Amino acid sequence: FFSRVFCCCMSDTDAMQAERPDEASSSKTDEDVPAIVHIDLRLLKQPEVIMHIYADKVHHYYASQDWSPEFYVTQACLGFVAVAFGDYLLPELQRQYCVMVLRPAHGHAADRLQVHRKVRRRVTRKRSYTLCVDRDLAGVLRGVAHAQGPRCWVTPEYQALAHALVRDQPTTATNFAFHSVELYDGAALVAGEIGYSIGATYTSLTGFFSHEKVPGTDKLLHDGAGAIQLAALGALLRRQGYALWNLGHPPRGDRMVYKTEMGGCVVPREEFLQLWLSATQSAPVGGRVGCGLGDI
């Protein structure tokens, strides 16, 4: 089905390790890890190709130079998560996913959103936080790029695509929407993320929190802002009746453990696709997330 475009394993590059580390052991050589294979819109629209990809336990990263909203939406609806590497989009069909089941489905009870006591205390002590959706995509993209530095996979090309997905949203797909999520402390944007909703699913892509320090100290001025943003977003998704929150890669070692600490569970690809394909065809009971959600 595919033609190989790379002979080295790009999944182990610094650019990917910044946000989405490969699951393979670092002791593996390039020969041990499968090359990334090419995919295009024509192949994504062939059911037999998709069934082959779903069943393929060897490859999980694919590559394309198609930066069109149509390609992005198509691969997202199929369960891929795409990041950027140079001139390429790298859609990945992960071997495992960390998800939060928000409505019981396919034998899964709803997962409980766990909010750490420290987060609760910070919100209670400082009542100036406001969570918004789709208010400042440009500001969130700047925050992500600044926080993650030169290794950030949200490249200028990816940022342009994000803006195009928002601008062209009515014509790309009826149930796909690209989102920015913003947490404000007063008027200051202190944390945020980008992601997208499809039907009754929401996928978190990447985010940031402010590293501004209290003047004259090493203490963060907005300590815990990232955790507060995630907890508030989880509560919002549950309130709006979403079925599935895709948190992306599961924790690895001591990295990204916040995902399971807040209630996410790790499921294999087959289980994820069962939950995903069902939830993308339904609608959130309370309506799609929107702007101006008010104080936390």
Rg, C-alpha atoms of the chain: 19
Asked if 204 contacts 248 with a C-beta cutoff of 8 angstroms, the reply is yes
Mean pLDDT of 194-200: 95
Name the band, by pLDDT with cuts 50, 70 and 90, for residue 22.
very low
Write the pLDDT tens digit of every residue in 156-166.
Answer: 999 999 999 99
- The whole-model pTM stands at 0.85
Selected residue with higher pLDDT from 109 and 264: 264
E-assigned strand segments in the chain: 37-38, 62-63, 81-85, 88-92, 96-101, 129-133, 176-185, 188-198, 201-209, 244-246, 265-268
Across the chain, how many H-helices and E-strands are there? 11, 11
Between 225-239 and 117-125, two packed helices, what is the crossing angle to 10 degrees? 100
* Per-residue confidence (pLDDT) for residue 31, from 0 to 100: 52
Q: Which residue has the tokens 């696709």?
A: 273
Selected residue with higher pLDDT from 78 and 20: 78
The SS3 of residue 27 is coil
Write the pLDDT tens digit of every residue in 60-76.
Answer: 999 999 999 999 999 99
* Per-residue confidence (pLDDT) for residue 28, from 0 to 100: 52
Mean pLDDT of 278-283: 92
* Per-residue confidence (pLDDT) for residue 290, from 0 to 100: 62
Other CB atoms within a 10 A radius of the CB of residue 238 amount to: 18
Round the average pLDDT of the chain to a whole number and report it: 84
| 63 closest CA partner among 33, 45, 38 | 38
Instruction: Average the pLDDT over each of 10-14, 125-129, 282-286 and give the range with the smallest value.
Output: 10-14
Is residue 1 predicted with pLDDT exceeding 70? Answer: no
Selected residue with higher pLDDT from 86 and 22: 86
Name the token pair of 273. 């696709």
Question: Amino acid identity of 243?
Answer: A
Asked if 170 contacts 207 with a C-beta cutoff of 8 angstroms, the reply is no
* Per-residue confidence (pLDDT) for residue 127, from 0 to 100: 66
* Per-residue confidence (pLDDT) for residue 292, from 0 to 100: 44
* Per-residue confidence (pLDDT) for residue 170, from 0 to 100: 52
Write the pLDDT tens digit of every residue in 220-271.
Answer: 888 889 999 999 999 999 999 999 999 999 999 889 999 999 999 999 999 9
Q: In angstroms, how far is CA 54 from the centroid of its own chain?
A: 20
Burial (CB count within 10 angstroms: exposed 0-12, middle 13-18, buried 19+), residue 276: buried
